[in-house]
Chain A
Amino acid sequence: MNKTSLLKGHLEMCVLSILKKHKSYGYEIMKELEKYDLKLKGVSSIYPILTKLKDQRWVDVSSEITDSGKARIYYTINHQGEKHLENIMKEWKELQTNIKALLIYNEEEL
């Protein structure tokens, strides 16, 4: 499994984490991920995730007019979203600990 495929499974958590800090929009979120070397294969990953977050009611969506007069769609994490983020982060940390323990154990065996 390559890095992009691994990232796909954690994208929802990463996007919610970005949104926890501040409201954002699709393009900005994508670039924010790239700052952490979490490069997506393309835009086909980011927009479906945002749609899913909206459909699951983990984010609130609003349209705002930018300085250039363009309407931009902003996503803001809501209370439900924050709760969900807490849960998935907890699960992810547990899983990470378990995998790490397994890898270390097997490494010692070698």
Chain B
Amino acid sequence: MGMELTEKEKMYLDDISRELITRKAKKEQVLFIKQQLLEHIEESRLHGIDPFDDLETPAEFVTEYCELNEVQFVSPQKASFPKSYYFIGLFSFTVTYLLSQLILTMCLTQTFSPAYQHTNFNYNLLYSISDNLWWNSMLISISLISAAAITSLTVLSIYRKGKFIS
């Protein structure tokens, strides 16, 4: 609206924005509410009334606003992660771990070498890719860390993309 705001009004609008952000309101909702508040401030001035005569505290304002407009801003404590993301995470973790184990077997062990012969060693992609105990532990750790990192990145990017789309 391009009007000059007093420090008190600016602070009030900032507090409202902060309160809305903690309740996970979308950016456009924050802007819309701020626009309505600016309208109120401007109208109050035109009528020679202090805008704060009709304004609640920022927390009260947001609570009342949500209640009346049936807006479902997510409370940070109650924010739930969609169930589908757990399945995506599990799938991503399993695939990454197995791929990592396979790559490490091929690149860093002699297990798949035709010349390699060790009768006591039973290869298992999940937990035994080398006959050397400490080396096997090290490779499993690398696979676990890689799987955890890639899973986190995948789920986070899908979550952010989902939030952006909604």
Contact = CB atoms under 8 A, between A and B. Distances in A.
Interface of A: 8, 11, 25-27, 30-31, 40-45, 47-49, 51-52, 66, 68, 70-73
B54 A30 contact: yes
The 10 closest A-B pairs by CB, nearest first: A48-B69, A27-B43, A44-B64, A42-B56, A48-B68, A47-B36, A44-B61, A44-B65, A43-B40, A43-B54
B11 interface: no
A26 B40 contact: yes
A72 B64 CA distance: 24
25 contacts: A8-B68, A26-B39, A26-B43, A31-B47, A41-B64, A42-B54, A42-B55, A42-B56, A42-B60, A43-B54, A44-B60, A44-B61, A44-B68, A45-B64, A45-B68, A47-B33, A47-B39, A47-B65, A48-B65, A48-B71, A49-B69, A51-B32, A51-B69, A52-B68, A70-B46
B9 interface: no
Given A27-B40, A42-B60, 10 more contacts: A8-B68, A11-B68, A26-B36, A40-B54, A42-B55, A42-B61, A47-B33, A47-B65, A51-B36, A52-B69
Contacts, number: 64
Interface residues of B, number: 24
Interface centre among A8, A11, A51 (most CB of B within 10 A): A51
A57 B47 CA distance: 29
A40 B56 CA distance: 10
Nearest to A73: B39
Contacts of B60: 41-42, 44
Contacts of A72: 43
Contacts of B69: 48-49, 51-52
B37 interface: yes
B41 to A, nearest CB: 10
A30 B43 CA distance: 11
Interface string B30-51: 0011001101101110110000
B48 to A, nearest CB: 12
A29 B51 CA distance: 15
